[in-house]
Amino acid sequence: MKNRMSESKLKGFKQMLHEMRETEIRDIEKQIGRDLDPALVRKIDVAMDSGDWATQEQIEGIDHLILEKRYQTFKELSSAFRRMERGTYGLCENCGVGIPLDRLEVEPLTRYCVPCLTKKEEFEKAEKGVGNPPTL
C-alpha cells in the first residue's frame, strides 16, 4: 500500500534536502581546507615531541571519523534525491508503506517505517550477537 505525497510537501522536502546537502558540502570543504601549508607543517614537525605526536594522531583519527560520517550523510542525501526522482521518496524501502510526514520532517533521510526499522535493527543486533534474536 503506497501513500502518495503531495507535490507541495515533496517540494518542501526537496528544498530541505538541498539545504542539508549544501551544509554538508560546506562542512566537508572546511574540514579538508584546514590543511596547513607544507613549509609550516615541517617547522611544526621539528618542534613536536612524542606526546604532541600522539595527540596529533588522535586528532587526525577523529577528523577522519568526522569526515567519514559527513561523507555517509552526503551519500544518504544523494540516495534521497534518487528516491524523489523515482517517485519513491517517503515510502518504506522494505514494505512500501508511506512513512508518516512528521517522521520525515524530523528525519528526512529515513528509508524505513518504524516497524521495519525496528525489525532491521533487531536483525543487526542479532548478527552482532547483542540482545535476543528476533522472531518472525
Residue 96's CATH number: 1.20.120.910
Phi and psi torsions of 67, nearest 5°: -65, -40
Residue 30: helix, strand or coil by DSSP? helix
Domain-located, residue 45: yes
Dihedral sign, Cα of residue 81, residue 83, residue 89, residue 92: negative
Domain-located, residue 76: yes
Alpha-carbon distance of 111 to 30, in angstroms, equals 29
Domain-located, residue 2: no
The reported pLDDT for the residue numbered 28 is 82
pLDDT digits (tens, 9 = 90+) for 60-96: 677 778 888 988 999 999 999 999 999 999 999 999 9
Domain-located, residue 20: yes
Domain-located, residue 135: no
State the residue range of the domain holding 90. Answer: 7-128
Domain-located, residue 134: no
Query: Which residues, at least 6 apart from 28, have a Cβ–Cβ distance to it below 8 Å?
Result: 67, 70, 71, 74
Provide the domain count of the chain.
1
Domain-located, residue 39: yes
Q: Can you name the residues that pair with 98 across neighbouring β-strands?
A: 91
pLDDT digits (tens, 9 = 90+) for 12-33: 999 999 999 999 988 887 877 6
**pTM for the full model?**
0.66
The reported pLDDT for the residue numbered 48 is 62
Domain-located, residue 50: yes
